């Protein structure tokens, strides 16, 4: 079982990140932010629920790009990827 979702509190909350105009178009606007930080009790279901929101998001690429920039300080699902998936993507692109 993967363990990198076990953080329920992000080090850098989304609200603390730079405000970008693309955020206004985000599919998660108005969605409970906790959905993107599933705890270990609802790990698989929680990840799937968050990814479902991201899948239809028109600014997924912008979100993923920003999350990759802050990778060392972010937890949770951003840009449709988990922290582990973002790390793997980052290591492949280096």
**Binding region for ligand SF4 (CB under 6 A):** 26-28, 36, 53-54, 57, 59-60, 63, 78-80
The residue among 26 and 47 lying less far from ligand SF4, judged by its C-beta, is 26
CB 58 within 8 A of CB 65: no
| Shortest distance, position 36 Cβ to ligand SF4, whole Å | 6
Comparing CA positions, the residue from 31, 7, 40, 23 lying closest to residue 79 is: 23
Cα–Cα distance, 44 to 67 (Å, whole number):
21
The residue among 1 and 79 lying less far from ligand SF4, judged by its C-beta, is 79
């Amino acid at each position: 079982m993967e363990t990198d979702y076990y953080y329920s509190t992000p080090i850098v909350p989304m609200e603390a990140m730079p405000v970008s105009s693309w955020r206004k178009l985000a599919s998660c606007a108005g969605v409970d932010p906790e959905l993107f930080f599933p705890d270990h009790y609802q790990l698989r279901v929680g990840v799937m629920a968050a990814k479902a929101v991201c899948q239809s998001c028109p600014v997924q690429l912008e979100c993923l790009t920003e999350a990759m920039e802050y990778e060392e300080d972010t937890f949770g699902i951003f840009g449709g990827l988990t922290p582990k998936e973002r790390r793997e993507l980052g290591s492949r692109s280096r």
